[in-house]
Amino acid sequence: MMSGLGQHSSFSTCLFGRQSRGSVCLQATKRAASQTTGRRGSTHVAVKDQPKPAQDLSVVSTVPRPRGVTDGPWDAQDVKAVEEAQQSETSRPGRRQVGQPGALLAQTIQELRKLAEQDGQPAYRGKQLHDGLMKGAQSLDDFSNLPKAWREKMAERGVSPGRSHLLKTVTALDGTRKFLLRLHDDRVVEAVGIPSEEQGKSRLTVCVSSQVGCPMRCTFCATGKGGFARNLAAHEIVDQVMTAQEQFSHRVSNVVFMGMGEPLLNLPNVLKSVAWLNQDLGIGARHMTISTVGVPNAIAKLAQQQLQVTLAVSLHAPDQALRQQLVPSAKAYPLQALMEDSRQFFRATGRRVTFEYTLMAGVNDSTVQAEALAKLLRQYDLCSHVNLIPWNPVDESDFQRPSRNAARAFHSVLQQRGIPCSIRITRGLEAAAACGQLRNDHQKTPMSQLAVV
């Protein structure tokens, strides 16, 4: 039933080369933009009734599915695509290079000191490099306190800050901003900044992408409808956070790996970025969340790191049969194994696992299914928080948003069974906390509703 249903949207279909009703191309919005502000081509626009234009592939990266990968059950082609994704990393010798060679961002002070010394410079120059990066250096010219001859030498061998090009900023009426970033190889990813107030403190949460595309094919996800291009390097993940911090002129307090991609398929680069964000940018590990639909053996590897990050598991179904329809990769990683690994993560780290559950009318929102979910969580002694996310219907999706009563009834059953839970119905991250859902939620926002800032 679920096969082939995706959360298409006007924004995503243009950006990633898939067409849908009423799509609006970024190129057209760029041409139509009447206001241009900020750095690196940042454009803030309001768009009304734009005609559907032709795509400009010189800017817009498409991520087609590999030949042979189709909707439906998980098969050998999918397994191959996932294996390739796990091998697409920088950290192993001989693997395909991802990211910008010579990028300075996401390197530690120690690594930058070593780089300086290797170039015959005093070690403190490494600290100066680090300071410049923290101040938002976009090119080597921005390190004006460094010797010009050294900068030229670094430029000659391709060293650069490693910042991406900010293609566009779109701001929703609630202040949430989406950033579209063009990478060095013209791939495009997005990050979302979500400002909020909590107990009198202003927070800024950034939802980051970890891959260009995603090979997991979740049926409710626009990213999953396309293919997989490559993993993001650590500096490309960090760049998303830096961009949000600069654009909001506000310190980032929380980072969630809930954008494009399955973070646990890109674990080495995700871990490197987490370490840098924690140690260099000062974001507490407990304020970072890694979301997953489940990758065999990856949760155990994450647990071995003994990090204080939050693991958010996207369940969406209380039983294997239904979950496999919604998340085809569950065929290769059955629900019972996922739950057991989640339990082991809790035991190894002492960090409670949270669970994301997108409620879809008539699919997974009955009280019987709520009972089954409670039973499942209790069986594994994982009575930790459940985020219930009512589905937000979009064009070309056969899923339906659950009624308010159905969501409340589901919530009540969990509460009565002693499972802490909340219904996320508002904005930004809270409106779409499941892996990939955040991106889709913002993508579905009609461009005509976006404000000029």
Binding residues for ligand SF4, per CB under 6 A?
214, 216-218, 221, 223-224, 260-262, 293, 435-436
> 98 vs 433, which CB is nearer to ligand SF4?
433
Distance in Å, CB of 243 to ligand SF4, minimum? 20
> 224 vs 318, which CB is nearer to ligand SF4?
224
258 is written with which tokens? 């809930």
For residue 305, the cross-strand partners are none
Q: Which of 253, 141, 124 is nearest to 199 (CA)?
A: 253
> 175 vs 334, which CB is nearer to ligand SF4?
334
> 133 vs 312, which CB is nearer to ligand SF4?
312
> 143 vs 333, which CB is nearer to ligand SF4?
333
> CA–CA distance from 35 to each of 31, 169, 237, 384 (Å)?
10, 12, 28, 46
Quote the strand ranges of 225-287, DSSP E.
228-231, 254-257
Distance in Å, CB of 377 to ligand SF4, minimum? 21
Residue 181: Cβ-neighbour burial (10 angstroms; 0-12, 13-18, 19+): buried
Asked if 162 contacts 215 with a C-beta cutoff of 8 angstroms, the reply is no
Distance in Å, CB of 173 to ligand SF4, minimum? 25
- Rounded to whole angstroms, how far apart are CA atoms 425 and 391? 9
> 169 vs 314, which CB is nearer to ligand SF4?
314
Asked if 291 contacts 435 with a C-beta cutoff of 8 angstroms, the reply is yes
For the annotated catalytic residues, the residue numbers are 190, 435
Q: What is the CB-side half-sphere exposure of residue 174 using CA atoms within 13 A?
A: 16
Q: What sign has the CA pseudo-torsion 151, 156, 157, 161? A: positive
> 246 vs 262, which CB is nearer to ligand SF4?
262
Distance in Å, CB of 158 to ligand SF4, minimum? 31
Distance in Å, CB of 194 to ligand SF4, minimum? 18
Residue 127: Cβ-neighbour burial (10 angstroms; 0-12, 13-18, 19+): middle
Distance in Å, CB of 309 to ligand SF4, minimum? 17
Distance in Å, CB of 438 to ligand SF4, minimum? 10
DSSP states of 41-73 as a string? T-B-----S---PPP-TTTS---PPPTT--SSS
- Rounded to whole angstroms, how far apart are CA atoms 411 and 138? 47
Residue 177: Cβ-neighbour burial (10 angstroms; 0-12, 13-18, 19+): buried
